Every structure is written in C-alpha cells, then in structure tokens.
Structure 1
Amino acid sequence: METKNLPLTEFQCLLDDLSIHSANHLIEAEADLMQTSFLLGEAIERLTTSFMQINYAIQSQHDAFEKLMQDQAVPTNNIQKFTEFRDQINTEINAVVTGLQFQDLTSQLLARTMKRLNGLRDVLSGLSSEDEHQPTESDHDAVATLLKKVNESLSLRSSALQAGMRQQVTQKHMGSGDIELF
C-alpha cells in the first residue's frame, strides 16, 4: 500500500501567510482606532468649549437683561420669567456637557479594543513556525504532533489574552448612570 505525502510545506506556507497578513490587518485596525480616538477627543473638547461659551454668553445676556429691567422698574414676575429661562438653559447646557464626558468611556473601550487586537496579533503569530525541526511530509505522526503543538500554542495564547482582558467599562448607554471606569 502506498502512503501519500502530506502537503506539509504548503500547509506551513499557509499558516505563515495567515500570520503575516493577519498581523498587517490588525496593525491597520489599531491605527484606525487610534485615529478615531484622537478625532473623538478633539471633537468633544471643541464641543465642550463651545457649549461653555454659549453658557457664558447666556449668563452675560441674562445679567444685562436683569440690570435693564431693574433700571426700567420692570415688574418682578417678568424678571422671574427671564430667570427661569436662564436656569432652564443652564440645566440643559450642563446636561450636554455631562453627556460629552462619554469620551472617557469611549477612550477606554477603544484602548481595550486595541489591547485585544494586539493580543490577537500575538495569538496569530503563533501560527508562523520558526521550528527548525520540521517533520517530513511522509512522517504522519510527526505532522500530527506539529499540528497538536500549533493548536496548543493557539489555545494557550488565546487563554492568556482572555485572562488579561477584564471587563473595564460596564456602562451600556449614557443614561444608565453606573460607570465603572477601571
């Protein structure tokens, strides 16, 4: 009975290429996440500054109205209406600024995702063989042993990655109110 040779060389090339291409794509994904994080931070900073300036302008406008009304002897109930409007606007602006603080949460989620991508790249790098003692294509037992080693390596690296990843951000939406940042 004739035994067939296993295409071990081709299989190893496949694993090497998978490792290399996966690593390259993961590096690009990390770069995209870093750019997203930077742009998000910059946008939120600008929005927060703008809302604070709006709040300051409204407060200044209210102060000017209040002085004008006092100088013109406007009835108290009219002054009270303007005060209520100002207070409502202040409350809304403060709510917006608080909402913009989700940058902390998103930054942590992005950092966690980048850590996971790094770990995945490390896991996939285990597919690439640097072992000088490659079995021959006709040595089925040695090939099976090699595949078992690759599988065990992937499992160990994946388990190590999972162990290093704990749930960092428990808040599911902005209104939930339970924030666990670290």
Structure 2
Amino acid sequence: MLSQESAPDLMETQVMRLLSGVSTHGDQHLAEVERDLVQMDVLLNEAIKKLCASFMAIHHAIDLQQETLKSMLSTGKPVPEQAARLETLREEIGQHVGAAVTGLQFQDMTSQLIGRMVQHLAGLRDVFGELGTNGTADLPESGSEEMLVMLNRISDRVGARCSELAGAVRSTVNQRHMESGDIELF
C-alpha cells in the first residue's frame, strides 16, 4: 500500500501526465487540421484564378474564331490563310480547355486534405473515448493505489493511441487522376 503522504503526490503526477498527454495529442491534431484548412484555402484560390483565366482565354479565342468564320462567309470561299487561322484557333481553344481541366485538379487535392482532417478529428474522438471508457461508477477511492493504477492505465492507452495515429495521418497530398503531371504539396 502507498503511504498517505505519497499518494496525493503520485495522484497529482498521474492526473497531470494524463491531462498533458490529452492536451498534447489534441493540440497536434488541431494544428494539422488548421494547416490543412489554410492549404485548402490556398488551393481553392489558385484554382479559381486559373479557371477564370482559362475561361476568359477560351471566350477570347472563340470570339476570334467567330470573326474568322464571318470573314470567310462574307468572301464566299475560304482563303488558305483563313483556314490556317481557324486551325490555329482550334488548337488554342484546346490548350485553354486543357488548362481549365488542370485547374479542376484542386478537387482531388482538397478531397485528400479533407480526408486527413477527418482522420485527425477521429483521432481526437478516439483519445477522448479512451478517457470515457472508465465509467465513473467504477472509480476507486481518491488517493488509493487503485486510483493511481487506473490513471496510469488510462495514460498508457491515450499514449498508445497517440502513437498509433502519429505516423498514419501525416502524409503528403498528391495530384492524382490527371494527365498533366504530379504535384506534391507538403
């Protein structure tokens, strides 16, 4: 059995260890979620700028194409320069459409970021769940050796849960499912 003088000190140490572990784990997950949200905001802003520029370029190229077609129709027969101009405009429009599709890749990357944030939040839920698995009806007498053992066991489970999640959650966000090349953000 523990002496009466050392039990409160050990109890305080165990409670502080447990709370410190929960706090550290929670802070780590929330910091990751915050970083992912900031990165998602950057991705969305860049994607919207790219999409706007691409659609404006498509609009401009189509206007030029329409002018060339009107010119061809007004003369009655196609001139080789006009046919070449139409082909050039067709290729230009294709490039702009490709740029717009590339701009849509933000959906894949933001989906990955959202998945990581969900994992972080699930990790927090699991840690808090570990705290709740010891029903209050089963609490041993304050200052007893059983209380210290229970707190130590909870701290160990929280620590183990933190270790399990540490390597599994932090990873890079990669561009996938697009033909324009790979992008690694982190």
Return the TM-score normalized by structure 2.
0.64
Q: Which residue of 1 aligns with 2:109?
A: 106
Per-residue deviation, 1:55:
0.9
C-alpha distance in 1, partners of 2:149/2:17? 16
Please say if 1:95 is aligned against 2:98: yes
Assess if the C-alpha contact under 8 Å between 2:18 and 2:154 holds in 1: no
Report the alpha carbon displacement of residue 22 of structure 1 after superposing the two structures with TM.
2.8
Provide the TM-score with structure 1 as the length reference.
Answer: 0.65
Q: Kindly report which structure 2 residues correspond to 1:130-141, keeping only aligned pairs within 5 A, or say none.
A: 133=140, 136=143, 139=145
Aligned counterparts of 1:112 and 1:81: Cα–Cα separation in 2: 48
Question: Quick check: 1:22–1:121 contact (8 Å CA) kept in 2?
Answer: yes
Residue 174, structure 1, aligned to residue 178, structure 2: yes
Q: Judge which range, 102-111 or 6-15, deviates more.
A: 6-15
RMSD after superposition: 4.2
1:131-170 map, 5 Å: 133=140, 136=143, 139=145, 143-144=148-149, 146-148=151-153, 151=156
Q: Counterparts in 2 of 1:9-24, with a 5 A limit?
A: 9-24=12-27
Q: Compute the displacement of 1:118 (Å).
A: 0.7
Percent identity between the aligned chains? 10
Unaligned runs of 5+ in 2: 166-174, 181-186
Q: Counterparts of 1:102 and 1:45 in 2: how far apart (Å)?
A: 11
Larger helix percent? 2
CA offset digits 1:140-178 (Å, max 9, x no partner): x7645554455567779999x9xxxxxxxxx845239xx
**Residue aligning to 2:61:** 58
Aligned residues: 167
The alpha-carbon deviation at position 128 of structure 1 amounts to 5.5
